[in-house]
Structures are given as structure tokens and as C-alpha cells.
Chains A and B, each alone.
Chain A
């Protein structure tokens, strides 16, 4: 992955890439209008969102209890539970399971947490061939690329881009890529053999149900169902925050998730997996289908540090991607510029929250604080509030650039001393007046020059409103 320190340069390059923007705008417009349409015909939608938020708030407030309940219930059903404190721990757990079972080939359904911990690199290093089976993720893998959206990993690619890739990297013929249906059929045929040959299926988990120890996996392609049932071992990776208390709450979450993500009332496949294949004395706990072994790896990787703090609310996130689609910044630069697997508004909070402000300090600045993310979030996460919290933390821990630091100090001094304020206004007016022509400044100096790269700046008025008002000026 590229170095996050250069966020600004990557963002600037992306913002100048009109081809990228055309793709992003087409896709995000389609997703936002689908979302809007699905909520428009769902009168109870707002109330269900409130309820979904309450569920998430309760889970995060009592995460220790729910996790213990989940782990116990899953073990009761014959599953194995693994606790990974870090991403590296999670990778070594999965690698160990693969090695111990002589796994040589693994198929994967889409999992953002596996991207977060770079699982594929670890498995490949251990000699395991990993094949992504989500269509978008397969394309990403063929292209040696990275996903640029939480639910639409190849939002940055056009159909033509993918046709070229299928020909160059997967041996597709012209006929195979003649239209979308042919391309899908080509991928389907290629991936079908991968499912059959695989020793291990690796998935994420949209939710873990505490009461039953079930994991729930939603997909639109059915690859999740094959990944989790055909190979003899299934390993599911789940961030520790992805718990819901019970099956009824799961239903609530699935309804807001699908509508927020794609505008569907429900995803095409909602798989609820409750333990591996097993026969037990208690018939209600027997299960004739599924893999021989089910392992669930609970990944912390910085999440528990957020509990109880001002950023804990970001753990409510159910990864629907609605905030990305609604965000005018994401629409302008796409996901890669963020330099992290979690792009967009949620990523601008989550990435620095999990990995620190050091290399990701610019992300909370990459927002106009317009609030579109908060408006569409299915669980009403107040992302702008946390962007502001991170900005405060950044000022305290890292410090702002000198011109902002001194500028802010001077402005605060003036804004609390009216005489100084009037003087500062006059001085600024005089300074700006030297640069202005016919009421507009076309070139601002130094760090302010960014403004005048594409827009003029209005000159100060000859007399302030307060001066005019005091001298009796009135508009008639």
C-alpha cells in the first residue's frame, strides 16, 4: 500500500483526474439515489434507524459481556473461537490453522477486516494460494490493486478497464468480454473450479449474534455461501465490535444495512451460520450441513482502545458505505487517496482512531464538515463531531503548521478584544486592498494561495457594517 504521508498529493492528483471523477460520480449518484428511493418507500425507516442505533450503542457499551456470550454460544455449537489482539496475531492464527490442516488453496469472500490486517500477504508467504471470489475483489486481485470502496471495491474501474484486465490477466477472449453478462459468466466459470479445489474458505462477518453464536454474512453474488460451505474448513474474521445481541436485532440491522448500502430491502443472500457440521446428543444442536470445522477469529487491532472514549461511536459502524457515497470529498477523490482500507468519512475517523494520527493526521482535515455523512448513516454516527475531536487531538499532540498556529492565536486575540479586532480588520483591508483589482483579489500569497488557484477572493468592504450602522447608515 502506498505511503499515507502523501495524502494531500494523492488527493490533489485524484481531484485533477476527471476520468476517475466521472466513474465515481456515476456510481455514487446511482448508489445514493437507490438508497434514497428505498428509504422513501419505507415510512418506518427513520424509526428503525433510531432502533438500530440504540442496538449498536448498547452493544458497544457492554461489548465485553456480549463478546463472552457470543464466544460461549459459538463453542457450544462446536465452533472454535480465536482472540487476536493485533492484526499480526490474526494473520498468524489463520496461517497456523491453514498450516495445521495442510491447506494449500483458500477461497475468500469479501472481508474488509482481512484487508485491514493484510491477510492475503501473510497466507501467500506461508505458501497458501488465496483466491478472492467476490467479483470486485477478484478484479482487485487480478489487477494487484486495492479496494477503493467498502462495498464497491472497484468503483474506480470502468467496464472497459475490467474487460482489458480479464484479457491481459485472466486469459479472456474478446467474446468473453463482449458485454457485462459474458464477463460475469467468464468470472463465474473461472471461480467455480476454485471453490471446488479449495481446502479452506475465508470470510468476513457482517454480524455475530451473541445469543446464538451465529455469524451472519450478506452478499449479492452467492460467493459467500460457497466459500463458507464447500471447503472443509471455514475461517471467519470479525472485528470485535460487530456483535448484535440476538436474531431479532440482526433482522433490524440487516434491513438498514442493505437499504443504506445499495437500496435493496435485503441483500440477495443473508447467510446465518451457526457452527460447523456436527452430530450431537442434543438434536437441536446437530447440524447436517457445512464445513468440518468453523473458526471465528475476533480481531481487536486497536478497537478496544476506543471503548469509553470520545471516538467509541465509530465502532457503531456497520460498513454500509453510505457515507462514502454521500460525501462530496469521496466523490472528488475516491478511496485510494485515503491510503487506508477504510476510506471516506468513516475512514477519516476510523483509520486515525485505530492507527494513530501520525501518518493519518491529514485525514480528519479532509472534510468541509458538511454533515452529509451523518445524515445518511443508518445508525446516525456523528462523524463530524469525531472529525472535530481528532482535529483537536491533532492540534494538541502534533501541532498545526506555524502559519495556522500563529494566525489562529492572532485571530483569537483580536476576536476577544474589539479595539484590536477593528485595527486588525483595517490592517487586513489595507493589505488585501494592495492585492485587489476592482473588488477582487486574484492571487493570495503564501499558504493562502490555494484559495486563488481556482477562485477569486472578495476585497474587504470600504467600511464595515458596524462602522456604517454606527454612523446611521440604513438601507431603505
Chain B
């Protein structure tokens, strides 16, 4: 099956290895991966900041780009998927060209783990990783799209991976985009509570489906001098050797 991979701006710039990993997993399960050129961002930072015009312009651009190909869109982020599935069609509802495009794109856009499990019906992707990990379900994927069992099922099928339960797993890590900067004191309090629970699991890896949360929690763990490292679900599924390098 041909798929369009929308890497997202954060994967593109901060975590390119996540894009490569997602592509590798998709190819391994038989997809033909197409990465649309000229992709930028879904517009969520503007949308969440209250900048409706800017958000609408970016959403229009991205929806137009993704409309050049009828293949399903796979996004390694619950948050950006939620933006494309729910918010872009609402923002563009009155646009005679982009409105129908946004609705059509929304109907064939999937978060990475959701695509593997719900569309391809795959939970075993042939991954192998002898390590211990805990999983944080990111808020927008969890509550916006109901994504939780898919990444868990995929991770449980990884040969050698020991998954440890995380207390208050469904509580936000405190990222929230500009919130982490503008309300950094509140955001930090949320982060420290989350990281306390993460470290209490004794796991070596913290896995999530959104690199925004991973950048936030990873930055917090690094500041604390923690031995816990962060990984995207795609990176875990891409692993085929018993151990991974950083």
C-alpha cells in the first residue's frame, strides 16, 4: 500500500531519526512510503495560540500539499494527526477549495500506530529490543483520537522489550506548546511529577508517540541527569537488533 508520510516539523528538525524509523517500519510491513516534498507544519502552534488566520493559512497549505496524492497520510504524532483530523476541517469549513480538501484528507489521515493496528491490522512488526521501557500516552492522541491500545499492542509484540506500568500515565507531561514557555512554572511542576513517576518505574526507556512530549520529558530528564532515555514508538518498532545505540 502506498502511504504519504507527513513527518511533522519537530521530527523534521529535531528528531529526523524518528522519520527514518517510521519509514523503515512502514516499508517493512509492505508499504510504499512517499514523503511529500515541501512539507512544513500542520499549523497547530498557531491554532493553539489563538492565531486563527495564521493557523488557517498553514492548514490550507498542508491540506493542499497532501491532496496532490490520494494515498493515506501517516503521521508519527497524535497531536498533529488530531490537528489534521479535527481542527483543520473546522478551520477551513467555509473555504470552497480547501474545505472539501481538508475533509478528504482528514478521512485518510492516521497516526502512525493507529495506521499499523487499525488499518493494516498489524501488531507484530518483527521488532526486537532487549530493554526495559515505560509508555506515556500523549494527551491529544489519547483523548482526541482514542489512541492507547494501538501503541501498547505494538510495543507488547516487540521481542525482548519489558514494559513497566507508569503511575498516572494519562496525566499530561506539561508540554502544551507555548504553555511550557509562557506558564513555565506550572508546566515545570507538571513535568517534575511526571518524571518522578517515570523514574520510579526503573525503566531505561521512556516511550511516547509524540516527539513534542518526548522533547519536553527528554529535556527534563537530561537536566535531572537521569539515565532514562526517550524514544518514539517508531524507533522501538524499527529496532531489529537486541540492543540499540543512543
B218 touching A458 by the CB < 8 A rule? yes
Complex interface: stretch among B67-75, B92-100, B151-159, B171-179: B171-179
In the assembled complex, the CB of A368 is this many whole angstroms from the nearest CB of chain B, namely 3
A142 contacts the other chain (CB 8 A): no
> Whole-angstrom distance between the alpha carbons of A475 and B187 in the complex?
35
Write the chain B residue with the least CB distance to A327. B172
| Binary flags per residue of A28-57, CB closer than 8 Å to B gives 1, else 0 | 000000000000000000000000000000
Known: A328-B172, A415-B9, A415-B40. A370 touches B143 (CB 8 A): yes
B223 touching A469 by the CB < 8 A rule? no
Known: A368-B187, A451-B184, A455-B220. A395 touches B50 (CB 8 A): yes
A369 contacts the other chain (CB 8 A): yes
A372 CB contacts on chain B under 8 angstroms = 139, 143, 170-172
Write the chain B residue with the least CB distance to A429. B13
A371 touches which of B52, B140, B174, B189 (Cβ 8 Å): B140
In the assembled complex, the CB of B170 is this many whole angstroms from the nearest CB of chain A, namely 8
Complex interface: stretch among B14-22, B110-118, B120-128, B198-206: B14-22
> Whole-angstrom distance between the alpha carbons of A367 and B50 in the complex?
13
B16 touching A464 by the CB < 8 A rule? yes
Write the chain B residue with the least CB distance to A420. B40
A280 contacts the other chain (CB 8 A): no
Known: A400-B50, A451-B184. A416 touches B57 (CB 8 A): yes
For B, the interface residue count at a CB cutoff of 8 angstroms equals 72
A395 CB contacts on chain B under 8 angstroms = 49-52
> Whole-angstrom distance between the alpha carbons of A442 and B224 in the complex?
12
A475 touching B185 by the CB < 8 A rule? no
A416 touching B47 by the CB < 8 A rule? no
B216 touching A455 by the CB < 8 A rule? yes
A465 touches which of B16, B55, B57 (Cβ 8 Å): B16
B219 touching A370 by the CB < 8 A rule? no
B215 touches which of A16, A388, A400, A458 (Cβ 8 Å): A458
For A, the interface residue count at a CB cutoff of 8 angstroms equals 67
Known: A368-B176, A370-B139, A412-B58. A418 touches B40 (CB 8 A): yes
B48 CB contacts on chain A under 8 angstroms = 369, 388, 391
Interface residues in A321-346 (C-beta closer than 8 Å to B) = 328-329, 332-333
Known: A451-B180, A454-B220. A370 touches B51 (CB 8 A): no
Interface residues in B22-66 (C-beta closer than 8 Å to A) = 23-24, 35, 37-41, 43, 45-52, 54-55, 57-58, 60-61
A468 CB contacts on chain B under 8 angstroms = 16, 19-20
A476 contacts the other chain (CB 8 A): yes
B190 touches which of A328, A394, A411, A425 (Cβ 8 Å): A328
Known: A367-B176, A416-B40, A475-B23. A375 touches B215 (CB 8 A): no
Complex interface: stretch among A7-15, A90-98, A100-108: A7-15
A404 touching B39 by the CB < 8 A rule? no
B139 touching A371 by the CB < 8 A rule? yes
B186 contacts the other chain (CB 8 A): yes
A374 CB contacts on chain B under 8 angstroms = 143
B187 touching A461 by the CB < 8 A rule? no
B11 contacts the other chain (CB 8 A): yes
A466 contacts the other chain (CB 8 A): yes
B191 contacts the other chain (CB 8 A): yes
In the assembled complex, the CB of A356 is this many whole angstroms from the nearest CB of chain B, namely 16
B132 CB contacts on chain A under 8 angstroms = none
B180 touching A450 by the CB < 8 A rule? yes
B35 touching A469 by the CB < 8 A rule? yes
A21 CB contacts on chain B under 8 angstroms = 189
Write the chain B residue with the least CB distance to A373. B143
> Whole-angstrom distance between the alpha carbons of A461 and B238 in the complex?
19
A409 touching B54 by the CB < 8 A rule? yes
In the assembled complex, the CB of B7 is this many whole angstroms from the nearest CB of chain A, namely 5
| 28 sampled A-B residue pairs with Cβ under 8 A | A15-B186, A16-B185, A329-B183, A332-B190, A333-B189, A368-B172, A368-B177, A368-B179, A368-B180, A372-B172, A388-B50, A390-B50, A391-B48, A392-B50, A394-B50, A411-B45, A415-B61, A416-B57, A416-B60, A428-B13, A455-B188, A455-B220, A456-B219, A458-B219, A461-B16, A464-B16, A474-B24, A475-B21
- 18 new A-B contacts, CB < 8 A, other than A388-B50, A453-B185, A455-B223, are A16-B189, A332-B190, A368-B175, A368-B177, A370-B171, A375-B143, A388-B47, A408-B45, A415-B43, A416-B40, A440-B222, A450-B187, A453-B188, A455-B222, A457-B215, A461-B13, A466-B7, A475-B21
